[in-house]
Copies of this chain bind each other. A is one copy, B any other.
Amino acid sequence: MSRPAREPLDFHFDFISPYGYFASLRIDALAARHGREVRWHPMLLGVSVMKVMGLKPLLETPLKGDYVAHDVRRHALMDGIRIGRAPRTPMMNPLPAGRAFAWCLVHEAQRAKAFAQAVFDGYWVQACDYSTPASLAQPAQMAGIDPGRLVDAAQTDEASALLRAQVDAALARGIFGSPTVVVDGELFWGYDRLADVERWLSGNFGARAQAE
């Protein structure tokens, strides 16, 4: 007799990933429908995709880059999501926001998710750029975090080490893309796989997979 698992889901994303942004709008409600919490984690596509996998950035890949640029706008249209960033605008440097968020997870645990949501909203809807630590004062304020403290923290070695630890832990789990959701040890990569996450949470696939 085994107790049904009620472990939180792990949601891994890069702020510069549009599909990560789309998933961020749905993942908590999806998990809540199944009595689950969600832990949010920063990752860096620049490390997983480019350094470990040896691939080009998505938007610079022939054919796929054009497809993705169109698909993001189409998905936003179909889901009624407003994207304020012009297509093909160069991405921001994701390091300051990633470091700040990794720091928040430790030092502002109650407000960390609100900070990440403010960064996502600012970047994708308001077309803000958070490439510098100073620019993070605004999402900090939105999340109820002292802006000066966060701007300072984002520049510390500690924040840098905390982000690195998150990135390394994700890679060790086999995570390479944004978004990736981990449910009871099962990885689901891609915004378009949230339906699978929901099916997995609803079904008894885990037991059957183990029996195979």
Interface residues of A (CB under 8 A from B): 48, 52-56, 61-64, 66-67, 70-71, 73-75, 77-78, 171, 174-177, 186-187, 189-190, 192-193, 195-196, 199-200, 203, 205, 208-209, 212
Chain B contacts for A53, CB-based, 8 A: 61-64
Copies of this polypeptide in the complex: 2
**In the docked arrangement, what's the CA distance between A193 and B19, Å?**
13
Contacts A55-B55, A193-B192 given; indicate if A186 touches B63 (C-beta within 8 A).
no
B192 touches A74 (CB 8 A): no
A63 touches B190 (CB 8 A): no
Chain B contacts for A199, CB-based, 8 A: 78
A63 touches B74 (CB 8 A): no
B78 touches A205 (CB 8 A): yes
Q: Which of A61, A63, A208 has the most CB of B within 10 A?
A: A63
A77 touches B208 (CB 8 A): yes
